[in-house]
């Protein structure tokens, strides 16, 4: 399962380049529109809204995948770990609902779908926790990548809140995977690329 983080990283890098290109194109269009008039209402143009809808749909796809990861793993968890994972799944579902609302608030279409998780799925408690950790990591990186390129205020605030939530989830999941309190403390600047605790990865093999 550890290799999955690399694939997420490569995918995010490609999406990041694509979003940067969209940002540059939209900025150029906004400059032209400033001289010629535009069809957008208020300070945000239709082109900016459309670009934000694309970014939000990408982030929503990862949120949906994270919820699916918890759904696969909950049956393998027990006690306090199950309670925490269930809570995290509920919070991530709340992220999904908020992002759908944000997309529709920009008059956009919800097109995101969850990515297919690697078969055969988790087979043990540790597998379930590592899968949740990997998808929370990917969701954090996705939110961090979206934040600087969103151009409308409400979605910008939303993805910043998502990043905070995922970083908190990761700190707790590290402890569930065997890290002590000091090892579970988040980095000063969480990136979404920090691997799960080594003991967890080794046990899951």
Which pLDDT tens digit goes with each residue over 163-199?
999 999 999 999 999 999 998 988 888 888 888 988 6
Helix (H), strand (E), coil (C) string for the chain: CCCHHHHHHHHHHHHHHHHHHHHHHHHHHHHHHHHHCCCCCCCCCHHHHHHHHHHHHHHHHHHHHHHHHHHHHHHHCCHHHHHHHHHHHHHHHHHHHHHHHHHHHCCCCCCCCCCCCCCCCCCCHHHHHHHHHHHHHHHHHHHHHHHHHCCCHHHHHHHHHHHHHHHHHHHHHHHHCCCCHHHHCCCCCCCCCCCCCHHHHHHHC
The whole model's pTM is what? 0.75
Q: What is the pLDDT of residue 21?
A: 39
Q: What is the pLDDT of residue 43?
A: 58
Q: What tokens does 144 get?
A: 């961090």
> Which range marks the domain in which residue 28 is found?
4-204
Q: What is the pLDDT of residue 200?
A: 55
Q: What tokens does 196 get?
A: 């799960």
Q: What is the pLDDT of residue 6?
A: 41
| Domain count along the chain | 1
CATH of the domain at 126: 1.20.1260.10
Mean pLDDT by 10 residues, the chain (205 residues): 40 42 38 38 77 97 98 97 98 98 96 95 96 97 95 92 96 95 87 80 38
């Amino acid at each position: 399962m550890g290799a999955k983080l690399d694939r997420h990283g490569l995918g995010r890098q490609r999406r990041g380049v694509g979003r940067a290109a969209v940002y540059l194109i939209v900025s150029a269009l906004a400059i032209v529109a400033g001289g010629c008039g535009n069809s957008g209402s208020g300070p945000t143009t239709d082109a900016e809204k459309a670009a934000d809808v694309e970014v939000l749909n990408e982030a929503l796809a990862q949120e949906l995948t994270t919820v699916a990861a918890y759904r696969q793993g909950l049956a393998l968890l027990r006690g306090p770990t199950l309670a925490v994972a269930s809570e995290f799944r509920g919070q991530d579902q709340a992220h999904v609902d908020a992002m759908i609302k944000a997309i529709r608030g920009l008059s956009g279409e919800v097109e995101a779908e969850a990515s297919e998780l690697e078969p055969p799925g988790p087979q043990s408690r540790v597998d379930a926790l590592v899968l949740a950790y990997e998808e929370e990591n990917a969701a954090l990186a996705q939110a961090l990548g979206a934040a600087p390129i969103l151009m409308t205020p409400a979605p910008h605030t939303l993805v910043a809140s998502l990043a905070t939530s995922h970083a908190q989830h990761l700190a707790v999941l590290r402890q569930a995977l065997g890290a002590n309190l000091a090892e579970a403390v988040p980095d000063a600047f969480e990136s979404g690329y920090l691997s799960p605790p080594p003991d967890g990865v080794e046990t899951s093999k």
